[in-house]
Amino acid sequence: MFVRNAEPWMDGSSLGEHLEETGVSRRSFLEFCTEMAVILGLGSAAAPSVAKALESQARPTVIWLEMQECTGCVESTLRTEAPTIGNLLLDVVSLDYSETLMAAAGHAAEKAKADAMAKNKGKYVLVVTGSVPTKEDGMYCTVAGRTIRQHLEEAAEGAAAIIALGACAHWGSVQAARPNPTGAVGVRDIIKNKPIVNIAGCPPIGDVVTATVVHFLTFGRLPAVDREGRPLFAYGNRIHDQCSRRAHFDAGQYVESFDDEGARKGWCLYEMGCKGPATYSPCPIVQWNQRTNWPIGAGHPCIGCTEPYFWDTMAPFYNRLPNVSGFGVEHRIDTIGASLAVGAAAGVAAHATMTVMHQIRRRKAHQTPDSGSTSGEERNNG
């Protein structure tokens, strides 16, 4: 996947010169630029501008901090579309510090990071994956003898912008799910004074990460975001509104179990608890692993991993609605509501019967002494 025998991108040479040296053709570079322009919503006509901005780019410094996480975001990013240039870009920009990708280890790695940060203070991009544990003074995640919180605060100090990559980095993801034993929080809860872009997902799609980096290199700033801090070019629409199974939703054709007729025919996964109607993500369009497929395409309902605190808010993953606490695990709101409605009907029926019986008794009682006349009391019931 990586460009073999790639010369390191030296300070002082532009990306264009560097690509020429490594033997990447002009054609494949322009293809990459066109694709990025399209993903960013700029349109293919903007490709020459993107190419121009990128090729004159001096080598950017990127520090990639891996905190309390599973490394899935790095894995996903490596499987980006247009692997040659996309990975080259990430390879070169993540050169300075990335625990998973860099060759250096131990003190040498820490020194490389400290040097890169000191040299490019105020200019480098900080990519963060994983959450920050806050309980027990952050002892749940330490690197090189210091807590990850100290690393983050130090690295954020001189960063031009922060890319919070993945659900952990913004909301804490599974570590922050109830009861959150490590007190995990996202970067935004620690760092308040830097621009942060939220590349949501567990993990996010590699192309979205690459496109965000390209946007930053082309325009010198982070892309426009929605109210959750996610780039609008990627997270601007609901999965439900872009879904390839949407026609079956509108038609009223639903999978009711994973092995039924509907599942074989590719019907809508709404009744299987699909969170597509509550989830903003480019999955249906950009897809995964070089456009191989995506969860709903493979017959699995969306679990809403790009949404805030999705482990808590989207659970249970295979039910339409959240469970109602206090009524046991398997009680759904329809069971409770229908029971109450039936109870109300029974109550009404019982009360009506009582009323009728009471009226009959009263009329009999009134008719006994003086039949036919309406007593003042009865009329007084208005």
368 or 381: CB nearest another protein: 381
45 or 365: CB nearest another protein: 365
Q: Which of 316, 286, 293, 287 is nearest to 304 (CA)?
A: 316
151 or 245: CB nearest another protein: 245
52 or 358: CB nearest another protein: 358
CB of 215 to another protein, least distance (A): 19
CB of 315 to another protein, least distance (A): 9
For every residue of the chain, which 3-state class applies, written as one string? CCCCCCCCCCCCCEHHHHHHHHCCCHHHHHHHHHHHHHHCCCCHHHHHHHHHHHHCCECCCEEEEECECCCHHHHHHHCCCCHHHHHHHHHHHCCCEECCCCCCCHHHHHHHHHHHHHHCCCCEEEEEECEEECHHHHCCCEECCEEHHHHHHHHHHCEEEEEEECHHHHHCHHHHCCCCCCCEECHHHCCCCCCEEEECCCCCCHHHHHHHHHHHHHHCCCCCECCCCCEHHHHCCECCCCCCCHHHHHHCCECCCCCCHHHHHCCECHHHCCCHHHCECCHHHHCECCCCECCHHHCCCCCCCCCCCHHHHCCCCCCCCCCCCCCCCCCCHHHHHHHHHHHHHHHHHHHHHHHHHHHHHHHHHHHCCCCCCCCHHHHCCC
CB of 60 to another protein, least distance (A): 31
29 or 254: CB nearest another protein: 254
CB of 267 to another protein, least distance (A): 8
114 or 341: CB nearest another protein: 341
20 or 271: CB nearest another protein: 271
CB of 105 to another protein, least distance (A): 41
CB of 284 to another protein, least distance (A): 14
23 or 337: CB nearest another protein: 337
Q: Which of 113, 109, 88 is nearest to 7 (CA)?
A: 88
CA distance between the termini of the chain = 87
CB of 128 to another protein, least distance (A): 22
CB of 278 to another protein, least distance (A): 4
CB of 163 to another protein, least distance (A): 21
User: At what angle are helices 83-93 and 15-22 packed, to 10 degrees?
Assistant: 120
93 or 255: CB nearest another protein: 255
Q: Interface residues with another protein (CB under 8 A)?
A: 226-227, 236-238, 240-241, 247-254, 262, 270-271, 275, 277-278, 280, 304, 307-309, 313-314, 320-322, 324, 333-334, 336-338, 340-341, 344-345, 347-348, 351-352, 354-355, 358-359, 376-377, 379-382
